[in-house]
A and B are shown apart, each in its own frame.
Chain A
Amino acid sequence: MSSTTTTTTVGTIGAPSRRNTELAMLVFAVLIAVFAYINVGLAKEGSVPAGVLGYALGLGLLAGITHLVVRKWAPYADPLMLPIATLLNGLGLVFIWRLDQEPQITTKQLGGAMAPGQLMWSTLGVALFLGVLIFLKDHRVLQRYTYISMVVALVLLIAPIFFPAKFGARIWITIPGVGSLQPGEFAKIVIAIFFAGYLMVKRDALALASRRFMGLYLPRGRDLGPILVIWALSLMILVFETDLGTSLLFFGLFVIMLYVATERTSWIVFGLLLSAGGAVAVATFESHVQERVQNWLNPLQLINGGVTETAQAMYSFGSGGILGSGLGQGYSRLIGGIAPKSDYILATVGEEAGLAGVMAVLLLYGLLIERGIRTALAARDPFGKLLAIGLSGAFALQVFVVAGGVTGLIPLTGMTMPFLAQGGSSVIANWALVAILLRISDTARRPAPAPAPSTDAEMTQVVRP
Chain B
Amino acid sequence: MNKPLRRVAIFCGLLVLSLLIRVNWVQFVQADELKNDTHNRRVAIERYSQPRGNIIVDGKAVTGSTTNESGDFKYKRTYKDGPMWAPVTGYASQAFGSNQLEKLNDSILSGTDDKLFFSRTVDMFTGDKQKGGDVVTTLNAKAQKAAYEGLGKSKGAVAAINPETGAILALASTPSYDPSTFAGMSDKDAKAYNGLLKKNNPDDPMLNRALRQTYPPGSTFKVVTAAAALENGLYTDINAKTDSPLPWYLPDTAHQPLNNEGNIPCENASLKEALRWSCNTVFGKISADLGNKKMKAEAEKFGYNDPEVDTPVRAAESVYPTDNRPQNAMAGIGQASNRATPLQMAMVTAAIANGGKLMKPYMVDQLVAPNLNVVQQHTPEAMSQPLKPENAQKLQEMMEGVVKNGTGTNGQIDGVTVGGKTGTAQHGENNKDNPYAWFISYAKTSKGTPVAVAVVIEGSDTLRGDIAGGKLAAPIAKKVMEAVLDGKK
Contacts and interface: CB of A to CB of B under 8 A. Distances in A.
A362 B19 contact: yes
B27 A317 contact: yes
A355 B27 contact: yes
B125 interface: no
Nearest to B7: A259
B66 to A, nearest CB: 21
Interface stretch (B39-47, B155-163, B419-427, B450-458): B39-47
Given A263-B4, A389-B5, A404-B18, A359 B23 contact: yes
Interface string B28-54: 101111110101111001000000000
B379 interface: no
A321 B19 contact: no
B26 A314 contact: yes
A30 interface: no
Given A331-B42, A362-B23, A370-B9, A318 B1 contact: no
Contact of B26 (A3, A317, A331, A366): A317
Given A1-B2, A318-B34, A359 B41 contact: no
Interface string A298-321: 001010000100010011011111
A408 B40 CA distance: 17
Contact of A373 (B9, B27, B28, B35): B9
B31 A404 contact: no
B22 A404 contact: yes
B8 interface: yes
A393 to B, nearest CB: 6
A431 interface: no
A334 B16 CA distance: 27
Nearest to A392: B12
Contacts of B3: 263
B15 interface: yes
B5 A385 contact: yes
Contacts of B255: none
B35 A318 contact: yes
Contacts, number: 138
A409 interface: yes
A373 B8 contact: yes
A397 B19 CA distance: 12
Contacts of B380: none
Given A318-B34, A409-B18, A331 B8 contact: no
Interface string A379-423: 000100110010011001101100110011100000000000000
B199 interface: no
B201 interface: no
Contact of A321 (B8, B11, B22, B27): B27
Given A317-B34, A318-B35, A260 B27 contact: no
Contact of B15 (A354, A374, A400): A400
A407 B19 contact: yes
A376 B5 CA distance: 8
B8 A256 contact: yes
Interface string B361-378: 000000000000000000
Of the candidates B20, B28, B37, B40, the one having the most CB atoms from chain A within 10 angstroms of its own CB is: B40
Contacts of B1: 260-261, 263, 382, 385-386
A321 B13 CA distance: 24
Nearest to A317: B26
A363 B72 CA distance: 34
A95 to B, nearest CB: 16
B20 A362 contact: yes
A44 to B, nearest CB: 15
Of the candidates B9, B13, B30, B33, the one having the most CB atoms from chain A within 10 angstroms of its own CB is: B9
A318 B5 contact: no
Interface string A73-92: 00000000000000000000
Nearest to A354: B27
Main SS class of interface, A: helix
Nearest to B29: A318
Contact of A359 (B5, B9, B20): B20
B67 interface: no
A41 interface: no
A317 B39 CA distance: 14
Contacts of A300: 37, 39
Contacts of A321: 27-28, 31, 35
Contacts of B33: 318
Contacts of A319: 31, 34-35, 40, 42
Interface string A350-376: 100011001100110110011001101
A4 to B, nearest CB: 7
B232 interface: no
Contacts of B18: 400, 404, 409
Of the candidates A3, A4, A311, A317, the one having the most CB atoms from chain B within 10 angstroms of its own CB is: A317
B13 A322 contact: no
B386 to A, nearest CB: 48
A377 interface: yes
B6 interface: yes
Given A318-B26, A320-B27, A321-B35, A362 B16 contact: yes
A396 B23 contact: no
B236 interface: no
A188 to B, nearest CB: 15
A291 B5 CA distance: 36
A363 B4 contact: no
B12 A363 contact: no
B13 A307 contact: no
Contacts of A263: 1, 3-4
A393 B12 contact: yes
B24 interface: yes
A315 B24 CA distance: 14
Contacts of B11: 256
Contacts of A311: 39
Contacts of B5: 260, 373, 376-377, 385, 389
A415 to B, nearest CB: 14
A395 to B, nearest CB: 9
A300 B13 CA distance: 29
A334 B32 CA distance: 18
Given A3-B2, A362-B16, A259 B27 contact: no
Of the candidates B6, B18, B19, B42, the one having the most CB atoms from chain A within 10 angstroms of its own CB is: B19
Nearest to B22: A409
Contacts of B16: 362-363, 365-366, 369, 396, 399-400
B26 A4 contact: no
A370 B37 CA distance: 38
Contacts of A315: 34-35, 37, 39-42
Contacts of B30: 314, 318
A407 B31 contact: no
A403 B19 contact: yes
A170 B24 CA distance: 33
A396 to B, nearest CB: 4
Given A261-B1, A359-B23, A307 B39 contact: yes
A404 B26 CA distance: 12
Contacts of A261: 1
Interface in B291-338: none
Given A260-B5, A300-B39, A355-B23, 14 more contacts: A4-B2, A256-B8, A259-B7, A307-B39, A317-B26, A318-B32, A354-B27, A359-B23, A362-B16, A366-B13, A369-B16, A373-B9, A377-B9, A386-B1
21 contacts: A1-B2, A315-B35, A320-B31, A321-B28, A331-B72, A350-B26, A355-B24, A359-B23, A362-B16, A366-B13, A370-B12, A370-B13, A373-B9, A373-B12, A374-B9, A377-B2, A389-B5, A393-B8, A393-B12, A400-B16, A409-B18
Interface of A: 1, 3-4, 256, 259-261, 263, 300, 302, 307, 311, 314-315, 317-322, 331, 334, 350, 354-355, 358-359, 362-363, 365-366, 369-370, 373-374, 376-377, 382, 385-386, 389, 392-393, 396-397, 399-400, 403-404, 407-409
The 3 closest A-B pairs by CB, nearest first: A318-B34, A366-B16, A355-B27
